[in-house]
């Protein structure tokens, strides 16, 4: 009976952890697919669509008058930050950190990610008709 209990314990722990791992793994794939679209659009619009176009603030501001472009930029920042930082976590995980060290890394990555997204969103605020919350 004791053996069964241990087995059950091991099985349930393993399944939970694999389950969470699978979700993160899937999200890395889904964000990759989204990036093919968002980053493809980013490169296309800024560098390929009009051959040899010089990037100016006026041009960017003009484009951002269309709410769809603001939305695409916000989504791009969110997805690319997730994909990049989760990719770093995958690399870090392969170094077999202790559970505590890994938790610290996860928290650090979350802070960097959230702050970076807020910075990106803040820069887009003026184009949505609001003042930026902070400037340098």
Partner 1 sequence: MYRVRHTDLWPSHYNLGMWVWLAQRISGIVLVLYLFTHIWVISFSIANRQGQEFNQVMALFQTPLFLSLDLLLLAGVLFHALNGIRVILFDLGIGIRQQKAIFWGVLVIVSAIFAWGVSLWWPFVQGKPLV
Q: Which residues bind partner 1 (CB under 8 A)?
A: 29, 32-33, 35-36, 39, 43, 47-48, 50-58, 60-61, 77, 80-81, 84-85, 87-88, 91, 112, 116, 119-120, 122-123, 126, 132, 134-136
Least Å distance between CB 88 and partner 1? 6
Nearer to partner 1, 67 or 132 (CB): 132
Calpha distance 88→10 (Å, rounded): 28
Least Å distance between CB 13 and partner 1? 25
Least Å distance between CB 51 and partner 1? 5
Residue 66 zone, left/alpha/beta (φ > 0; ψ -120 to 50; rest): beta
Nearer to partner 1, 107 or 119 (CB): 119
The CA-CA-CA angle for residues 75, 124, 40, to 5°, reads 40
Question: DSSP readout, 48-97?
Answer: ITTTTPPP-HHHHHHHTTSHHHHHHHHHHHHHHHHHHHHHHHHHHHTT--
Count, residues in the chain: 136
Least Å distance between CB 55 and partner 1? 5
């Amino acid at each position: 009976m004791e053996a069964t209990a241990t087995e059950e314990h091991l099985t349930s722990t393993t399944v939970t952890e694999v389950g969470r791992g699978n979700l993160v793994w899937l999200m890395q794939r889904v964000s990759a697919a989204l990036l093919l679209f968002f980053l493809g659009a980013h490169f296309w619009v800024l560098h390929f669509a009009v051959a040899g176009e010089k990037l100016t603030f006026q041009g960017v501001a003009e484009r951002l008058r269309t709410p769809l472009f603001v939305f695409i930029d916000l989504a791009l920042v969110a997805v690319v930050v997730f994909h990049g930082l989760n990719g770093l976590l995958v690399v870090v995980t392969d170094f077999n950190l202790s559970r505590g060290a890994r938790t610290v890394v996860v928290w650090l990555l979350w802070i960097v990610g959230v702050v970076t997204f807020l910075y990106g969103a803040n820069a887009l605020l003026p184009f949505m008709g609001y003042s930026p919350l902070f400037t340098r």
